[in-house]
Amino acid sequence: MSTAAGPSRGLPDIRALLAHPAVVDNGRRFGIWFALLALMVVGGSLSPAFLTPTYLLTIVAQASIVGVAAIGVTMVMITGRIDVSVAGVITLTGFIAVGIMHGNDKNIVPAVAAVVAVGLAVGLINGYLIAFWGVESFIVTLAMGATLIGVAELYTGGFTFGDPAPAFVNFFAWRPGGIPTLALLFATVAGIGLLLVRRTTFGQRLFLIGGNYRSAYLSGVPIRRTIVLAYAAAGVCAAIGSLALIGFAGVPSGFTGLGLEFQVLAAVVLGGTTFEGGRGGIAGTVAGVLTLAVASTLVIILGFPFAAQQVVTGAIIVAVGCAYAASLRKEE
Amino acid sequence: MSLLTATPRGAPNSVVRERLDYATVVRQLQLYGVWVGLVVLVAIGLTAHDFTSAGNIQNLLRAVAIIGIAALGQTFVIASRGIDLSVGQLMGLVSVLAVGFMHGDASLIIPVVCVTLALGVAVGIFNGVAIVTTGIHPMILTFGMLSALKGIIFLYTDRTRGSVPPVFRQLDLGQLGPLPWSVVILGVGAVVCWFVFTHTTFGRYVIAVGSNEPNARKAGISVGRIRVAVYAISGLSGAVAGLILAARLGTGFPLAGQGLELSAIVAVVLGGTSFAGGRGRMLGTVGGALLLVLLSNILNLKQVAPYVQDVITGMIVLAAITLYTARRAR
């Protein structure tokens, strides 16, 4: 009897609790961490091996490609703009890296330098067109991504191409103290991103531009320069992501970058950075990246085919995106 | 010339006047540039061998039909300041399902067509309702839908599967006079969409919602319903395009819809529909689709290597889009 009365009496209270501003605010800020925690509990109950540090760190290493690229895209998206050229940058710079390395350890430094320079150049062009010409960021970066993939095909002639240097591959296969270097790379880039966004004037300007363009303009924020810098950061991060990809997979193929831009976007949005800008941050993005990675691992552990992973990813994006949007709307 | 001397509103100062004239030129270009581009491309095409052969023109028109039909629905969405990224994979899903269910049996054509069209509308309505009720950004929602649909396609089949009955292939191969049926469908669809968009209350409401949503709401327009309707239209046009894709391929290919949403979006924007909403050019969209198809056709006829084609297409789109959406930076 008492069990029947319980829910009916408790229900309004739960609703009131859920609508409480503190709950909504914290839910939005930390919700993705709870989702991550929940997924890990599910994973742990499915397989005892899941919660071992080795396995978890492998997931982090796997997620580092999307993760590193997502750090830069987060900065762009805080300003209320978008960058979908990431896949193009990763594909092109991946080929450039193995093309220059050509299986020789002596070529690692020039290869890395060239990759970062190309990423930077692409970011600067994107940023210039968007900040100074006022071109719609989605379309311009979309066309840029398509062009870069064309350039990559032109560069390789469509064949398997190049060879990563052995020392490069060994470095990324290394696990100092059990921690994969890819995970360390991700942590380092995320740490730098976090500092830039939270602790510098540049970071504050990103939020100002995204949150209130007009007041940013009136208070003398160098809007154009800041936007160009944000895109430059996104380009460099994508280039580093491609290095991580080669470290992880060995040889890039024409398809490796395909669709990555959307995984990156999904991770950033899951982390609470909105399309409208002015919100979110690097920490959320890290959580978003890990959540997506754990979710796809779980789908595989459950024995579903690879295609189901795609359905689950799509469903997560829709569900979490809708929940965020609904919580923001309530506030208005 | 009249284009350059358009009366500057309240601008006695010659500097301001120059700027206004520049803006006017850009605006005129946005509205009519696609037709100029088409003329230029046709002129270039005429120098290519076989460009005017009946076979090539038929081929061109058939390719335009698929992108064009999907782009018509997309025009409504973009004019209302939304975007539908899911339409390419929807086309893929519809074509794979249609072929798989029919499996060469002509008696199943009508039920399968009805079911797949309903599926397209259902996906569109889901998109619209989710966007309206939660306020999620349409790009993220329809991207989620894109991933989910892609997964569903591959859960259904990961290889080429089934075949269409010969009668169904007539959709692509059959002709009404000189025109393939698919082009007739595109033509009828374009006229209907143009009429609905420019001559009905619904069309006005779409523009109102796209240009200023709060004001549209204050004016008593039920914004939510309009939004759901535009995504439903996009879903329907995606399903029609998917069926034509099935007829054209003759079999179900899981990757058939890959990237088609981007072609559709680029066609819409090249056609003069503003990405910022509030302005749509239905016939421009058809022109935009024709422009994209012509470009790849000419590059093929000129025997440009496919990789170079990708670069050229990408750069032209980049330049065109930059020109189209550039506004004086604030």
Q: How far apart are CA A119 and CA A145, in angstroms?
A: 12
Of B260 and B237, which is predicted with more confidence?
B237
Beta-bridge partner residues of B179: B176
Checking if the pLDDT of B222 tops 80, the result is yes
Residues whose CB falls within 8 Å of the CB of residue B27, separated by 6 or more in sequence, listed in order = none
- Give the 3-state secondary structure of residue B10: coil
Checking if the pLDDT of B280 tops 90, the result is no
CB-closest option in B140, B149, B312 to A275: B140
Pick the most confident of A114-128, B57-71, B313-327.
A114-128
Q: Which among B225, B197, B230, B248 is positioned nearest to B91, based on CA atoms? A: B248
Q: Which among A183, A88, A90, A102 is positioned nearest to A142, based on CA atoms? A: A88
Q: What is the pLDDT of residue A89?
A: 94
Pick the most confident of A328-332, B148-152, B197-201.
B197-201
Angstroms from A317 CA to nearest CA on chain B: 5
Phi, psi of B200 (to 5 degrees): -125, 160
Q: What is the pLDDT of residue B175?
A: 81
Average pLDDT over residues A87-106: 89
Q: What is the pLDDT of residue B190?
A: 96
Angstroms from A189 CA to nearest CA on chain B: 25
Of A25 and A70, which is predicted with more confidence?
A70
What residues of chain B lie within 8 A of the CB of A133, using their CB?
Answer: 322, 326, 329
Angstroms from A140 CA to nearest CA on chain B: 6
Mind listing the pLDDT tens digit for each residue in B97-135? Answer: 999 888 888 888 899 999 999 999 999 999 999 999 988
Considering only alpha carbons, which residue of chain B is nearest residue A155?
Answer: B307
Q: Which among B143, B142, B139 is positioned nearest to B275, based on CA atoms? A: B139
Residues whose CB falls within 8 Å of the CB of residue A5, separated by 6 or more in sequence, listed in order = none
Angstroms from B205 CA to nearest CA on chain A: 23
Average pLDDT over residues A12-39: 76
What residues of chain A lie within 8 A of the CB of B130, using their CB?
Answer: 318, 322
Tallying the residues shown for chain B, one arrives at 330
Q: How far apart are CA A240 and CA A289, in angstroms?
A: 16
What residues of chain B lie within 8 A of the CB of A312, using their CB?
Answer: 151
Number of alpha carbons in the 13 Å side-chain half-sphere of residue B64: 28
| CB pairs < 8 Å spanning A and B | 163
Q: Which among B29, B23, B27, B56 is positioned nearest to B42, based on CA atoms? A: B56
Checking if the pLDDT of B4 tops 60, the result is no
What residues of chain B lie within 8 A of the CB of A217, using their CB?
Answer: 330
CA distances from A322 to A149, A318, B133 (A): 32, 6, 9
Beta-bridge partner residues of B175: B180
Average pLDDT over residues B318-322: 76
Q: How far apart are CA A53 and CA B19, in angstroms?
A: 62
Q: What is the pLDDT of residue A152?
A: 87
Going by DSSP bridges, is the β-strand pair B175-176/B179-180 parallel, antiparallel, or unpaired? Answer: antiparallel
CB-closest option in B140, B322, B330 to A269: B140
Contact A198, A40 (CB under 8 A): no
Residue B206 pLDDT level (bands cut at 50, 70, 90): very high
Contact B33, B281 (CB under 8 A): no
In a mutational test of the A interface, the residue from B149, B321, B324 whose CB has the highest number of chain A CBs within 10 Å is B321
Considering only alpha carbons, which residue of chain B is nearest residue A147?
Answer: B314
Cβ-count burial B205-230 (b if 16+ within 10 Å, e if not): bbbbbbbebeebeeeebebeebbbbb
Phi, psi of A77 (to 5 degrees): -75, -25
Average pLDDT over residues B176-181: 85
Considering only alpha carbons, which residue of chain A is nearest residue B325?
Answer: A135
Angstroms from A134 CA to nearest CA on chain B: 5
Pull the structure tokens for residue B322. 């930059």
- Angle between helix axes A21-46 and A282-301 (nearest 10 degrees) is 30
What residues of chain A lie within 8 A of the CB of B312, using their CB?
Answer: 150
Contact A295, A37 (CB under 8 A): no
Q: How far apart are CA B270 and CA B251, in angstroms?
A: 31
Q: What is the pLDDT of residue B311?
A: 81
What residues of chain B lie within 8 A of the CB of A255, using their CB?
Answer: none
Q: How far apart are CA A146 and CA B326, in angstroms?
A: 20
Q: Which among A276, A279, A218 is positioned nearest to B330, based on CA atoms? A: A218
Tallying the residues shown for chain A, one arrives at 332
Q: Which among A175, A183, A187, A172 is positioned nearest to A62, based on CA atoms? A: A183
Task: Say if the Cβ atoms of B325 and A140 lie within 8 Å.
Answer: yes
Average per-residue pLDDT for chain A: 85
Instruction: State the Cα torsion B64-B66-B68-B69 to the nearest 10°.
Output: 150
Q: How far apart are CA A305 and CA A308, in angstroms?
A: 6
Pull the structure tokens for residue B261. 């949403």
Mind listing the pLDDT tens digit for each residue in A182-204? Answer: 999 999 999 999 999 999 999 99
Q: What is the pLDDT of residue B5?
A: 43
Taken in order A244, A245, A250, A252, the sign of the CA dihedral is: negative
Checking if the pLDDT of B313 tops 80, the result is no
What residues of chain A lie within 8 A of the CB of B275, using their CB?
Answer: 136, 138-139
Residue type, B302: K
Q: What is the pLDDT of residue B33?
A: 82
